[in-house]
Amino acid sequence: MTKIFKQLARHWAACLAVAALLIVQAYCDLSLPDYTSKIVDVGIQQGGIESPVPYTVRDTTLQALELLMTEDEAALAAQWYSEPDADGLRYLSEDADTAAAELESAFTTPDVVLYMAAAQNAARAAGSTETVTPTTYDLDAVSQQFAAMAQAPGAREMLQNQLAGALSQLDGTVADNLASQAVLLVSLEYEAQGIAHDVQMAYLLRIGGQMLGLTLLMVAAAVAVGFIASRVSAAIGRDLRREVFSTVVGYSNAEIEKFSTASLITRTTNDIQQVQFVCVILLRMVAYAPILGVGGILHVAAGNTGLSWIIFAAVAALLVLITILMNVAMPKFKQMQTLVDRLNLVSREILTGIMPIRAFSREKFEEARFDKANRDLMGTQLFTNRTMAAMMPFMTLIMNGTSLLIVWFGGKAMDLGNMQVGEMIAFITYTMQIVMSFLMLAMVAVMLPRAGVAADRIDEVIKTPATIHDPDAATAKPALERKNWNGEVEFKDVSFRYPGADSDALEHITFTARPGETTAIIGSTGCGKSTLLNLIPRFYDATGGAVCIDGVDVRDMPQATLHDLMGYVPQKGVLFSGTIDSNLKFAGEHITDEDVRTAAGIAQATEFIDAKPEGYASPIAQGGSNVSGGQKQRLSIARAIAKKPRIYLFDDSFSALDYKTDVALRRALKAQTDNATVIIVAQRISTVLHANRILVLDEGRIVGNGTHAQLMESCPEYQEIARSQLSQKELNLSKEGE
For 481-565+648-705, give the CATH class.
Answer: alpha beta
| Position 271 confidence tier, pLDDT thresholds 50, 70, 90 | confident
CATH number assigned to the domain covering 572-644: 3.40.50.300
> Which residues fall within 8 angstroms of residue 380, CB to CB, at 6 or more apart?
332, 335, 336, 339
**Type of residue at 517:** E
Distance CA 21, CA 228 (A): 10
pLDDT digits (tens, 9 = 90+) for 541-588: 899 999 999 999 999 999 889 989 999 998 887 888 889 899 888 888
Q: Which of 322, 298, 321, 318 is nearest to 308 (CA)?
A: 298
Which residues lie below 8 Å from residue 25, measured CB to CB, with a gap of 6+? 218, 221, 222, 225, 288
Q: From 112, 63, 118, 117, select the one nearest 88 (Cα to Cα).
A: 63
| Per-residue pLDDT band at 152 (split at 50, 70, 90) | low
Overall fold of domain 2-17+223-463: ABC transporter transmembrane region fold (1.20.1560)
The predicted model gives 166-180 an average pLDDT of 56
> Distances from the Cα of 178 to the Cαs of 152, 183, 310, 634, 675, in angstroms?
29, 9, 29, 100, 110
What is the per-residue pLDDT across 354-394, written as a single tens digit (0 to 9) for each?
A: 888 888 888 888 889 889 989 988 888 888 778 777 777 88
The structural domains of the chain, with segments of one domain joined by +, span 2-17+223-463, 56-203, 481-565+648-705, 572-644
SS (HEC) of 212-225: HHHHHHHHHHHHHH
Over residues 441-496, the pLDDT tens digits come to: 777 776 777 777 788 888 888 888 878 888 888 888 888 888 888 989 999 999 99
pLDDT tens per residue across span 237-265: 899 888 888 888 878 777 777 777 777 88
Residue 171 — very low, low, confident or very high, per pLDDT cuts 50/70/90? low
Contacts of 379 (CB under 8 A, 6+ apart): none
Residue 267: other Cβ atoms inside 10 A: 24
Q: Average pLDDT, whole number, for the chain?
A: 83
Give 92's DSSP letter: B
**What average pLDDT does the segment 340-344 reach?**
80
- Reported confidence tier of residue 736, pLDDT bands at 50, 70, 90: very low
Phi/psi at 45 (nearest 5 deg)? -70, -35
pLDDT in tens, 518-542: 899 998 888 888 889 999 998 888 9
Tell me if domain 2-17+223-463 and domain 481-565+648-705 are identical in fold: no
Decide: 556 and 475 in contact? Cβ < 8 Å.
yes
At a CB cut-off of 8 Å and minimum separation 6, what does 273 contact? 237
Sequence letter at residue 484 = N
Distance separating alpha carbons of residues 300 and 433, to the nearest angstrom: 11
- The model's confidence at residue 176, banded by pLDDT at 50, 70 and 90, is very low
What's the pLDDT score for residue 496? 92
Q: How many whole angstroms separate alpha carbon 99 and alpha carbon 528?
A: 99
Helix or strand run (H / E) with residue 173: helix 172-176
Query: Strands, E, within 479-569: which ranges?
Result: 489-496, 506-513, 518-523, 544-549, 552-553, 566-569
Residue 147 confidence (pLDDT): 77
